Amino acid sequence: MAIRHARGAAPFVSSVPFEEARIRAASLYCSDGRYGEQFDDFLHNALALPRYDRLAVPGGPACLTGRLDVFWEGHSAQQGLDFLAAVHGLERLVLIQHQGCAFYRQWLKVRDEALEARQIEDLHKAAELMRRRHRELRVDAFFARRLEAEVRFEPVALPAGDGVLAQGLTSTQST
């Protein structure tokens, strides 16, 4: 069956070559498109994770907290990550929250003064859940902070057993 294209439009062919090898890493972050390029830059260049598997959903790791107000989102995200762990052989998961997330403000009704603390708490809960489901999985967590036109990625310390901080990246480094 031939693919139908918009009237008169030629198909787009990417100039980026396809690479077959999997890197066995995934990231879960918010789907806010204003941060997409920065997330890729950080994961590709600071963490050296080219071609990582992506799961972008409103609120990012908020969906893995086990809270009732994100039940369906959490169910879907868990199934997706379980699939990636089994089929793609995931060894590492990077969780990222970002400053001022509208999902927290609008959907979860978190007040501005409590927003960052709730996001950090949710990173801990998401990491704990994923480590329980996949004991072999290394889980790292980061908070993306906007500083005017720049975005700085700060490591979030997780309790022992939930993973380790990204090697070679300190809280004072930025991308």
Give the largest CA-CA distance in the chain: 57
Domain 25-155 sits in CATH 3.30.450.20: no
The one-character DSSP state at 41 is: H
Q: Where are the domains of the chain?
A: 25-155
Please give the residue that has the higher pLDDT: either 41 or 170. 41
> Exposure pattern of 49-86 as b/e (b: 16+ CB <10 Å)?
beebbebbbbbbbbbbbeeeebeebbeebbeebeebbe
Pinpoint the alpha helices (H) of the chain.
36-41, 71-87, 102, 112-133
pLDDT of residue 136: 92
pLDDT of residue 3: 64
For residue 15, give Cα distances in angstroms to 12, 18: 9, 9
Over residues 125-161, the pLDDT tens digits come to 999 999 999 999 999 999 999 999 999 999 999 987 6
